[in-house]
Amino acid sequence: MNYLKKIKPSVRALETYAVKGKTFQPGLIKLNQNENPFDVPDEIKRELTEEFLKRPWNRYPEVFPVDLLVALSSYVRQDVEGIIAGNGSNELMYTILMATVSKGTKVLIPSPSFFLYEKAVKVFDGEVVSVKMNDDLSFPTEKILRSARKEKPAVIVLVSPNSPTGQSISIDDVEKILDGTSSLVLVDEAYIEFSERRSVQPLLEKHDRLVILRTFSKAFSMAGLRIGYLLAQPALCSELLKPKIPFSVNAFSASVAIKLMQRKEIIDERITFIKNQKKHLFNMLRSFEGVEVFPSDTNFLIFRTRYEAGTLFQRLLQRNVIVRDVSSYPMLERTLRVNAGTEQENKAFLAVLQELL
Ligand SMILES: Cc1ncc(COP(=O)(O)O)c(C=O)c1O
């Protein structure tokens, strides 16, 4: 097993990413990955696949996808030089941490939060500074500030709305953290379209240490096509572009993203529907005896029951309902996460859960 000695110890200690449960098949009530339950409309699928029949598939796309960046620029109202697109925002997370983290570099991450940040920091041999969320799972702004002053992390990661908890940090608190530290502040806004809070984008003008991450995987129904982007001041973007994998955005996915930004009214209607369904799920779960449901500012929510989460997860799965078991995260014992699906999916989930409880 000599070859294993060549693998970094920090990598050997990691686990391979896996999503527990079943892969998607028709009939499965899939509420485990915070996806949009509605697919890209057929009319758009047809239009773009026909267009792509005529395009050469043997040629590289552009190193960085100019048409997509131009479309994003008018969509987010920010200069092209302040935007980087990637193959999903996961790729850009790695890009940012590749540019900032080496052996021993500290990265402050409130906990619990999106697992991939901690994993990527470890891949680059950095050190995670973990700050526990408040008991009600809201963001501990003062604790973050205190810890950052002491530990001096290179990067502070704020996922807002946060996964898996569903709660957000206010723009004022993000500004406090920017003003009170000298760290690069990465705000992951993967779920911002479902939030009642404002994006932190207005802070970009004043703060050259702010990076915002967004994705087309959630509100824009494009999880399978992989498009994400980041916003930062141009000078920071030009540094972040250096370690970035070239050609990672494929031409087809870029075209779909452009088309969906042009047809934003379709997306907006879906967002409103999903937010209402989430409220319905919240109210129904709150009415179930023995269920504690946490407030959510996004398209999913977490709830705690008396039962062991893994067992309840398996029982739901046996009934063809897949949710996420988040009970291995700190503070989330006996807790499951569920995203808002279609009306029928939510109804089915609630009926099966009620029966099992
Ligand atoms: C907080 C957060 N950021 C990013 C992502 C991943 O986004 P993408 O599909 O753009 O890589 C997810 C997906 O679950 C997420 O929960």
What average pLDDT does the segment 284-306 reach? 97
**In the predicted structure, residue 141 carries a pLDDT above the cut 90:** yes
Ligand 1: distance of its center to the CA of 132 in Å? Answer: 21
**In the predicted structure, residue 1 carries a pLDDT above the cut 70:** no
Integer Cα distance of 356 and 350 in angstroms: 10
pLDDT by residue (tens digit) across 259-272?
999 999 999 999 99
Output the CA angle 181-193-232, nearest 5 degrees: 40
Nearest ligand 1 atom, CA 217: 9
* Residue whose CA lies nearest to ligand 1 atom number 16: 163
pLDDT by residue (tens digit) across 154-182?
999 999 999 999 999 999 999 999 999 99
Ligand 1: distance of its center to the CA of 330 in Å? Answer: 20
pLDDT by residue (tens digit) across 321-355?
999 999 999 999 999 999 999 999 999 999 999 99
Query: Which residue, among 305, 338, 299, 314, has the nearest Cα to 20 in the 3D structure?
Result: 314
pLDDT by residue (tens digit) across 228-260?
999 999 999 999 999 999 999 999 999 999 999
**In the predicted structure, residue 38 carries a pLDDT above the cut 80:** yes
* Residue whose CA lies nearest to ligand 1 atom number 2: 190
Give 279 or 21, the one with higher predicted confidence. Answer: 279
- pLDDT above 70: percentage of residues in the chain: 100
Ligand 1: distance of its center to the CA of 224 in Å? Answer: 12
For residue 100, CA distances in Å to 94, 146, 287 come to 10, 22, 46
Integer Cα distance of 53 and 55 in angstroms: 6
Integer Cα distance of 226 and 349 in angstroms: 28
Take residue 186 and report the two structure tokens written for it.
Answer: 């990465």
Any residues with Cβ below 6 Å from ligand 1, and which? 34, 88-90, 114, 159, 163, 188, 190, 215, 217, 223, 228
Integer Cα distance of 211 and 109 in angstroms: 15
pLDDT by residue (tens digit) across 48-61?
999 999 999 999 99
CA max distance for the chain: 59
Pocket test for ligand 1, best of 36, 84, 90 (most atoms within 8 A of CB): 90
**In the predicted structure, residue 119 carries a pLDDT above the cut 80:** yes
